[in-house]
Amino acid sequence: MESNAEGYLLCVSGKLNYFHLANRIIKNIFDYDDNRQICILTDNLHFFQENKNDRIILIKFDFNNHLHENIDSKNDWNKYGLIPKIYQYKYTPFEKTCFMDVDMIFHKDFTFIWDEFNRSNKPILIGGKCDQNNKSPSNWHWNHIDKVINACGFNCPQVWSTIFIYNKTFCNIMNKDVDFILINLKNWNVLSLYNNGYPDEIIYSLILGLNKIHTNLEIHDWFENKYNCSPFDKEPLKSL
């Protein structure tokens, strides 16, 4: 495998705890994958320099380069969570990229998702729920997704964005559509109730809906199974 063919990407900025969580997930990834590299987008390159090796790629990320009038840049979640997560596609050095949140811990080998992605013949493999028409369950987005769908005029799936894989085709989709989505957030009645900001899941949901891409229920269920992984564990000192 070429070094830039497939790899992982982490977004690490803001509070120090997330940097310690990043070190934990790096070790955890290497426990199950001894080939692929990890790219870290961060506002603090120095933190990772001491333990850097040839399987880790460090790239500086500055949210100020991606300001948008509909995104409150004074909000910490928007600065350190939302903005890096939706603009990561501009920075990935890989042809195929597996993004994951840093507060995950894997208890079983997760690398089968690469094969699932390659078999899917889709530009992105991401967990979530939708019907055959790519419509989310009505209780998603704080029981408000039906109003969003009615306003935007196309069906959108429920999205679970803790981990997903995408390729360069999806990067082109994001580059084409992300500004259109952000401009219309208020027009489409999208709620900004997650840490007083917009959840990244609804941005990806709208991108997928606009491009008629379905989410994957099997991936969603595997990663929500506590015996497979802990997707929301913010205790960095917990043993693996």
pLDDT in tens, 6-24: 999 999 999 999 999 999 9
- Among 229, 49, 99, 209, which Cα is nearest to 145's? 209
pLDDT digits (tens, 9 = 90+) for 65-95: 999 999 998 999 999 999 999 999 999 999 9
Tokens of 86: 């939706």
Q: Is residue 237 part of a domain?
A: no
Number of domains in the chain: 1
Residue 59 falls inside a structural domain: yes
Note the pLDDT of residue 3: 61
Count how many residues are written for the chain. Answer: 240
Residue at token pair 């009615």: 150
- The amino acid at 2: E
| 61 contacts 13 by C-beta, under 8 angstroms | yes
Q: Does residue 77 fall inside a structural domain?
A: yes
Work out the end-to-end distance of the chain between its first and last CA atoms, rounded to an integer number of angstroms. 28
163 domain-assigned: yes
**In a domain? residue 238:** no
Write the CATH number for 43: 3.90.550.10
Measured CA to CA, the distance from residue 57 to residue 24 in angstroms comes to 16
pLDDT of 62 > 80? The answer is yes
- Tell me the residue range of the domain where 13 lies: 6-230
Which tokens is 95 given? Answer: 């042809």
